[in-house]
Chains A and B, each alone.
Chain A
Amino acid sequence: MAATKRPGRLLRNLNGKIAAVPMILTTLVVFLGGTLWTVLYSFTNSKLLPRTNFVGFDQYERLWASSRWNTSIENLLIYGVFSLVFTISVGFVLAVLMDQKIRFEDTFRTIMLYPFALSFIVTGLVWQWILNPEFGIQHIVRSMGWESFVFSPLTNPDLVLYGLLIAGLWQGTGFVMCIMLAGLRGIDEDIWKAARVDGIPAWKTYTIIIIPMMRPVFITTLVLVASGIIKLYDLVVAQTSGGPGTASQVPAMYVYDYMFQAQNLGQGFAASTMMLLSVLIVLIPWAYLEFGGKKHG
């Protein structure tokens, strides 16, 4: 493809350039411009309206002094680690099971993937209902005779994140399973034949041959899931509204509340810049691994 050379004359490819105008505007104005604007204004003391009154790192100092923000970051870390570990390991194990030349594969996949079609709002509300202490699982187990049974993660500040996790995993594991399954199917049959000839047991083939071969798939999944976790917002809004108290606050919620509710734009900008920073921490090593050395194209 790269070998195709088109005449460099401006008019000849005018249509191609016109067609790319929306992309150019989006990348320059919204993605680059918008991001730089927000970062720049995070150093101001903007309140109701953006103002160019620069105050250095004041907003960031206030941000990190705020207990709500610290809770949010802590929550995101806990949720993120558990979510990554579980979606990827469970997704992989399910993909392996699905790859055993089983019957009804389509049915199983349809069932595991349907939650991914639903919004986080729907997901959050359903699980809010199932985990409802008065009617949900706790109530049912109690009514079966185990009176002291306690299972109400959404009303317990120490457990609320795990309540979110149950819902988040329900929604997202099917997707990871599908990517992993595509990765498994992409592996050459000959590898399996060779391993079988050498008498290597299946589980060992997976751990010492297949998983290392699927490294790119794992990394891509990791990046996709991680960048999704950082954006986590709708699920929390629907399932817990950040409660009980501030026990399930997340950064995206902090940003929204300061920008659009508390009319403290500076804080919102500073918080969103921190979110950007966390994405970059995930993204830059990945981009380096993936495209380092060779040109992206």
Chain B
Amino acid sequence: MADTFASGAVEPRGPKPRRVFSGRNIMIYGTLIVVCLYYILPLWVMVMTSLKGMPEIRMGNIFSPPVEITFEPWVKAWAEACTGLNCDGLSRGFWNSVRILIPSVVLSIIVASVNGYALINWRFKGSDLFFTILIFGAFIPYQVMLYPIVILLREMGLYGTLWGLVLVHTIFGMPILTLLFRNYFASLPEELFKAARVDGAGFWGIYFRIMLPMSLPIFVVAIILQVTGIWNDFLFGVVYTKPDLYPMTVQLNNIVNSVQGVKEYNVNMAATLLTGAVPLIVYFISGKLFVRGIAAGAVKG
């Protein structure tokens, strides 16, 4: 009766209906709302600052909405902001990031899903040992492996290229993604696999016809995880690419923290928002799947 609006599926919970304005509720909601203000504040400030002109910023208050809305900072951040000698704005970084993102996401997910599938259904001697090392490898600070990878990439002729960075993202995405796929495949009924084996399906047949169609949600989770993770990467971008291939985060940092010229805070905030836009959009669209993705990192293998 307490939950008449919680249509159907949810069973009535809690002891009895409470008054809406009990002291307890005021405390809970009050605290949560104050906390949420702290979380929202930076987003609010970014949007407001990016819509103001510089004179208004100098006179006013960073929290106040713009008196006169201008989209010029956005245009400038996208197309004209300077990093060093280049003045073609963040658009270059954006397209670099896209070009890095797509192959990295595709390759890392293919490798990790096939790997997780093999680890569950096609075990061989030692496969669990490698998996354990892989998971512990996720905790090794990247700094320890940065230089050896420079050497490896140089030997392969990939150092400073887009594909080199794609390879690096595939390698460092492997522990978490393999864990994600392995745990998911382990939860599928084994009889399915056995039945397919009896029917004569092989490694790839089972993967493509049974595992893949049954695990679309986990693929979506993996895509979310990788898109946000790779888009937000900074360290690998700086180390393994050259300035004309810098991903958006690196270029953003160079634009905002450049010491030359007059600081245009509105352009900086527009640039920051543009860089944050892709993961934010992914986050708001994906909702609970995002939560599931990050929780996967917390679940022990």
Contact flag A256-B118 (CB < 8 Å), given A30-B171, A179-B295:
no
Asked if A153 is at the interface (CB within 8 A of a chain B CB), the reply is no
Residues of B contacting A230 in the complex (Cβ-Cβ under 8 angstroms): 141
Question: B-facing mask of A99-130, CB < 8 A → 1, else 0?
Answer: 01110001011111111111111110111111
Q: How far is the CB of B44 from chain A (nearest CB, A)?
A: 10
A34–B145 contact, CB under 8 A?
A: yes
B136–A283 contact, CB under 8 A?
A: yes
Contact flag A268-B147 (CB < 8 Å), given A112-B35, A121-B253, A231-B141:
yes
Task: List B residues 20-44 near A (Cβ within 8 Å).
Answer: 28-29, 31-32, 35-36, 38-43
Complex Cα gap A284–B14 (Å) = 42
Residue from B238, B272, B279 having most chain A Cβ neighbours under 10 A:
B272
Complex Cα gap A110–B61 (Å) = 27
Residues of B contacting A139 in the complex (Cβ-Cβ under 8 angstroms): 61-62
B130–A27 contact, CB under 8 A?
A: yes
Complex Cα gap A217–B282 (Å) = 27
Complex Cα gap A113–B298 (Å) = 15
Complex Cα gap A135–B32 (Å) = 28
B144–A34 contact, CB under 8 A?
A: yes
Please name the residue on chain B nearest to A49 by beta carbon. B151
Complex Cα gap A222–B274 (Å) = 33
Residues of A contacting B144 in the complex (Cβ-Cβ under 8 angstroms): 34-35, 38-39, 272-273, 275-276
Residues of A contacting B13 in the complex (Cβ-Cβ under 8 angstroms): 101
Please name the residue on chain B nearest to A135 by beta carbon. B62
Residues of B contacting A13 in the complex (Cβ-Cβ under 8 angstroms): 122-124
Contact flag A110-B28 (CB < 8 Å), given A1-B186, A32-B133, A178-B294:
no
Residues of B contacting A106 in the complex (Cβ-Cβ under 8 angstroms): 287
Q: Contacting chain B: which of A14-22, A78-86, A207-215?
A: A14-22
**Which residue from B147, B256, B272 sits with its C-beta under 8 Å from A269?**
B147
How many of B's residues come within 8 Å of A, CB to CB? Answer: 98
B300–A275 contact, CB under 8 A?
A: no
B298–A224 contact, CB under 8 A?
A: yes
Complex Cα gap A4–B49 (Å) = 61
A20–B61 contact, CB under 8 A?
A: no
Complex Cα gap A126–B42 (Å) = 6
Q: How far is the CB of A228 from chain B (nearest CB, A)?
A: 10
Contact flag A140-B40 (CB < 8 Å), given A97-B32, A238-B257:
no
B231–A119 contact, CB under 8 A?
A: yes
B291–A109 contact, CB under 8 A?
A: yes
Q: Contacting chain A: which of B65-73, B82-90, B109-117?
A: B109-117
A26–B134 contact, CB under 8 A?
A: yes
Please name the residue on chain A nearest to B273 by beta carbon. A122
Residues of A contacting B139 in the complex (Cβ-Cβ under 8 angstroms): 223, 227, 279, 283
B39–A115 contact, CB under 8 A?
A: yes
B118–A38 contact, CB under 8 A?
A: no
The interface of chain B, by Cβ under 8 A from chain A, is 13-14, 28-29, 31-32, 35-36, 38-43, 45-46, 49, 57-58, 61-63, 111, 114-115, 117-125, 127-128, 130-134, 136-137, 139-149, 151-152, 170-171, 174, 178, 186, 190, 202-204, 228, 231-235, 238-239, 249, 252-253, 256-257, 265, 268-269, 272, 275-276, 279-280, 282-284, 287, 290-291, 294-295, 297-298, 300-301
Given A8-B125, A94-B32, A231-B143, 16 new contacts (CB under 8 A): A13-B123, A15-B202, A16-B123, A16-B124, A19-B118, A27-B133, A31-B140, A32-B137, A101-B14, A110-B284, A117-B228, A122-B275, A125-B253, A127-B42, A129-B269, A130-B42
12 intermolecular pairs with C-beta atoms under 8 Å apart: A16-B118, A16-B122, A19-B114, A29-B152, A35-B144, A38-B147, A102-B32, A111-B39, A231-B141, A233-B235, A272-B141, A272-B144
